Amino acid sequence: MCTKTVNNKRETMTHTLKTIWQAIRNTLYVPVKYSHYRHTYNELYKLSDRDLWDMGISRGDIEDIAAGRYQK
């Protein structure tokens, strides 16, 4: 086999393995991310409106903060 063919097969295999690894990693990461979201959401929701106000946020901001989308 020529070197060019071997290199192409190696690159294809490397790309395939990276794609498979990314799919596995994403599958494992989603529950952790959701768990972090729920924990943050629940902890903030337990606070009083006054406590939230002292931190400069409102109850309506909790979901965005927990999801990491909050921008002031």
pLDDT of residue 48: 94
Asked if residue 15 lies in contact with residue 22, where contact means CB atoms within 8 angstroms, the answer is: no
Kind plus residue range of the DSSP H or E element containing 56: none
Global model pTM greater than 0.75: no
Question: Which residue range is the domain that position 17 belongs to?
Answer: 3-67
Specify the number of domains making up the chain.
1
Could you tell me which of 57, 54, 52 has the C-alpha nearest to residue 70?
A: 57
Asked if residue 52 lies in contact with residue 59, where contact means CB atoms within 8 angstroms, the answer is: yes
pLDDT reading at 1 higher than 60: no
Residue 38 lies in a domain: yes
Residue 44 lies in a domain: yes
Residue 22 lies in a domain: yes
pLDDT of residue 54: 93
Q: Give tens-digit pLDDT for 22-64.
A: 887 777 667 768 888 999 999 999 999 999 999 999 999 999 9
Residue 72 lies in a domain: no
Helix intervals (H) in the chain: 3-46, 49-54, 62-67
Residue 12 lies in a domain: yes
pLDDT reading at 11 higher than 60: yes
